[in-house]
Amino acid sequence: MVDGQLRARGIADERVLAAMRRVPRHAFVPEDLIGEAYADHPLSIGEGQTISQPFIVALMTEALALTGEEKVLEIGTGSGYQTAILAELARRVFTVERSTCLSRAAEERLRRLGYAAIAFRVGDGTLGIPDEAPFDRILATGSLPRRPRRLVAQLGSEGIFVFPVGNRSLQELVAIRREGRSFKETALGPCAFVPLIGEEGWTGGAWCGDTNP
């Protein structure tokens, strides 16, 4: 996976590649899909949600330019796979998931794998975690209809925020880098994520353990 899918397509950050070698992706997929855990596409994790394609995880992580010192906010815990990659490369990770069931399962899985520096929250991640802001890095692993004002406001100085923005079926992956009072936006390429349902996200139906029906 690392050489054939990631390095071959331009992922060059050795720390990201090493983290993706270390984290056992097969521990994050449903049992019946274990044979496809390292395949070049997203996989269903139940509740209509997906674990992102390895390349997309690597691309987003590389764009965050983590050095090991950062306090990171992730929106959309899902299986917890991306959370584990972030925990390998940052000081502290806060991850928010709207589905109680997915959050609990991810928390149990990540504790079992030995990750300690992760705080799990259930709720609408499009609002961020105002009490814990500012964050050095923010990552949304579901799509947004527009630039989310409240998340941008929780980005620290010199911070980086990576998120997919567009319509429900196709988005552009965007990185916003804050330099003091100025915000510079870079486009990283097209992508297709499941939607973030919430105040600054999309409207949508209820699901298991929903906190915002």
Residues at the interface with ligand SAH (CB under 6 A) = 45, 49-52, 75-76, 78-79, 81-82, 96-99, 102, 124-126, 141-142, 194, 196-198, 201
Identify whether the C-beta of residue 133 lies closer than 8 Å to the C-beta of residue 117.
no
Q: Which is nearer to ligand SAH, 57 or 176 (CB)?
A: 57
**Minimum Å distance from CB 96 to ligand SAH?**
5
Smallest gap from Cβ 203 to ligand SAH, in A, equals 11
Q: How far is the CB of 7 from ligand SAH (least distance, A)?
A: 20
- CA–CA separation, 176 and 196 (whole Å): 18
| Closer Cβ to ligand SAH, 149 or 181, answer by number | 149
Torsion on CA atoms 14, 115, 95, 168, rounded to nearest 10 = 60
174 within 8 A of 163, measured Cβ to Cβ: yes
In the residue annotation, 79 being an active-site residue is answered as: no
**Which residues fall within 8 angstroms of residue 102, CB to CB, at 6 or more apart?**
45, 46, 47, 49, 77, 78, 79, 208
Q: Cα separations (Å) of 78 from 11, 58, 131?
A: 23, 16, 22
H-only helix segments in 38-118: 54-63, 81-89, 100-112
Residues 78 and 107: beta-carbon distance below 8 Å: no
For ligand SAH, the closer of residues 71 and 82 by Cβ is 82
Distance from C-alpha of 118 to C-alpha of 111, rounded to nearest angstrom: 9
Q: How far is the CB of 45 from ligand SAH (least distance, A)?
A: 6
Q: Which residues are catalytic?
A: 52
